[in-house]
Chain A
Amino acid sequence: MAATDTTPLVALRDIRKSYGDVEVLRGVSFDVHRGEVVCLIGPSGSGKTTLVRCINHLEKIQSGRITVDGELIGYREHKGRIIEDSETRIADRRQKIGMVFQRFNLFPHLTALENITVGPVRVQGRDLKTVTAEALELLARVKLADRASHYPSQLSGGQQQRVAIARALAMKPAVMLFDEPTSALDPETVGEVLEVMKELAQAGTTMIVVTHEMGFARDVANRIVMMDQGAVVEIGSAEQIFTNPQQERTRAFFKAMR
C-alpha cells in the first residue's frame, strides 16, 4: 500500500438497501484501500451477499453512496441530485470490479479458456490473440494450464471456481469481490481455491472477501468487517478481531462457528 495514497479505492457511505419493507442493509460504511484484503464475516442472513452485490450494482441501493476509484457506482450526480445511471455507464463501471460468485456461474457453453477471453474480447474489444495469451497465463496462475479446452461441466467445483477467478482477473479489475467462494465446494477442493486467493492477496490485489473460512481470514485479511442484521458490528485488524473482539455479538458469532 502506497503510504501517500490515502483516498480509498472502495468507499461505502451509509448504504441502505431494502427488499420491499425489509431493510437488509441499514447504513453500512467502510473504506477499502489499495492493496488491502478485507474479509466480511457474520451470521447467515446478515446482508454480506447483498452488500457485495451492491458494490457492483447488481442490486440497487435506496440511499448512501458507493465509489470505486473515486467514481460513483450505479448513480450519478445531476444538478445536485443523485439519479440512477444508464445501463451502459453502469456496465462500463463494472469492468473495474471483478466478482467471484458462490456458485461459480461459469458460462457452460464456453470452454475454460473462452470463459476467460469472452470479457476482454466482447466487452473491451481487445484482440483475441493477445487476450488468449494472457488467458493462458492466468490459467497457469490458477494452476489449470492443462484444462484450457475443458467445458465447465468437465471440471470439478474447485477447478470451476479457479477458472471463475481467472475470468474476473482477465478484465484487469481494480478490486476483486468474492462472495463465499468456497462454501459451495467439496471440502477437498476448498484448499486449492484458498491457495489461489492467498497468492492473489500476496501479489497486492485489492480484495473484499465474504467468507466463513476463519483460518483464511486470520492469515490473509488486513481488516475484518463483522456484520449482523444489515449493519457493521465492528471493524478491526484480523489480529484484533480474532484475539480481542470488542462486541458481544462478535464473540457470540465466533462461539457459534466452533
Chain B
Amino acid sequence: MSGDFNIDTAFFLKYLFNPPAIIWKGLWLTIWISVVAQALGVAIGLLIALCIRSKRAWLRGFGKFYVWVWRGTPLLVQLVLIYTGVAAAGFYKYPDIQIGPFTLTGPLQAALITLSLNEAAYMAEIFRAALSSIDKGQFDAARALGMRPITAMRWIILPQAARMVVPPLGNEFTLMIKGTSLLAILGIRELFGTLQQLNAATFRTFELFIIAAIWYLILTTIMGFVQKRLEAHYGRYDQPTADSKAKPGLRSLFSGQR
C-alpha cells in the first residue's frame, strides 16, 4: 500500500459510534426490505415448491421453468430489467404507493418485487428438498385420519419441513441482507447506498466501507442468533433413540449452496 494511505480515525469513530441520521435511515431501509422480501420469498417459494410437486404436468413445468429462469440469471440484471423493462414495456409504471406514513417509491417496489421473486426460486428448491425428505408414511397417516390436503400440509407436513428449512433459510436471509446492497443501483438509499452517497461527499472511502462491513456483520450475526433459537425450537422433538431413523447429511447438503 502506498504511503499516502491514511485513516481519519476521528471521522471513522464519529461515523461508527455517532452515525448521522441518514445512516440510521439506511440501516432501517436495509432491514425492512430484507425482512419483507424474505417473507414474500418464503411464501412464494412454498407455492412454487408445491407446483413442482403437483400431479399436474403444467404446474410442474411452470415451477421448474420459474426456478430455472430466476436462479440462472444475476440478481443485478433482474433488478434492472424489472425496474426499467417493465416500465418501458408499459406493463406497470411504478406509481408511488402510500401505506400509512410510508411512501413506497417506484424503485422500492421494483426492488421488493425482484428480491422476493428471486428469493422464491431459492426457497422453492429448499422447500422441495425438505418436503421430499418427509416419509411417505406421514402423508398416508394424515390422509387416513381424514385430513384434506391443505389440513395435512398445515398441521403435519409443514411443521416437519420447517425444521429442515430453518438452517438453509438462515443462509438465505444472510444472503438477502448482503444482497440488498445491490439496490444502490436503483438509487435506493439503503445502508450501502447511503454510505456511497456519503463517500461521494467526503471521499473517506475506506472508513465508510469498513463501517458498512461492520454494520452488515452486526446484522448477519444477530441473524445467526435468531437462527439458533429457531433451530432449537423446531428440533425439540428430535431425541434420537435406537428407533428413530435420523436423516443425516441433509443439513450438510444445504449448507453453502450459494
Chain A CB within 10 A, most for which of B142, B151, B237, B239? B237
Do B146 and A101 have beta carbons less than 8 Å apart? no
> Could you give, for residues 154-182 of chain B, a 1 whenever the CB lies within 8 Å of some chain A CB and a 0 otherwise?
11100110010000000000000000000
- Number of A interface residues in the complex (CB < 8 A): 38
Given A118-B155, A153-B240, the answer on whether A92 and B145 have CB atoms closer than 8 Å is no
B156, A107: Cβ atoms under 8 Å? yes
> Which B-chain residue is minimally distant from A110 (CB atoms)?
B237
The residues of B that contact A153 with a CB separation of less than 8 Å are 237-241, 243-244
Q: Does B43 contact A (CB under 8 A)?
A: no
> Could you say which of B144, B239, B244 has the most chain A C-beta atoms within 10 Å of its C-beta?
B144
A64 interface residue (CB < 8 Å to B): no
Give the chain B neighbours of A108 by CB distance below 8 A. Answer: 160, 237-238, 244
Whether A109 lies near B144 (C-beta < 8 A) is no
Contacts of A98 in B (CB 8 A): 144
Contact in complex: B147, A122 (CB < 8 Å): yes
A58: which B residues are within 8 A, CB to CB?
140, 143-144
Q: How large is the interface on B (under 10, 10 to 19, 20 to 34, 35 or more residues)?
A: 20 to 34
A105 touching B141 in the complex, CB below 8 Å, given contacts A92-B146, A118-B155, A171-B146: yes
B148 at the interface (CB under 8 A from A): yes
In the assembled complex, the CB of A141 is this many whole angstroms from the nearest CB of chain B, namely 18
> Within 8 Å of chain A (Cβ to Cβ): is B138?
yes
Say if the beta carbon of B135 comes within 8 Å of chain A. Answer: yes
Residues of A contacting B85 in the complex (Cβ-Cβ under 8 angstroms): none
Task: Out of A91, A154, A160, name the residue touching B143 (CB < 8 Å).
Answer: A91
Residues of A within 8 A of B (CB): 56, 58, 87-88, 91-95, 97-99, 101, 103, 105-111, 118-119, 122-124, 151-157, 160, 164, 167-168, 171
Ordered by A's residue number, 17 sampled pairs between the chains whose C-beta atoms are within 8 Å are A91-B143, A91-B146, A93-B146, A94-B145, A95-B146, A97-B144, A101-B144, A105-B135, A106-B141, A107-B138, A107-B156, A109-B160, A122-B154, A123-B151, A153-B243, A157-B243, A160-B243
Residues of B at under 8 Å CB distance from A?
A: 135, 137-138, 140-149, 151, 154-156, 159-160, 163, 237-241, 243-244
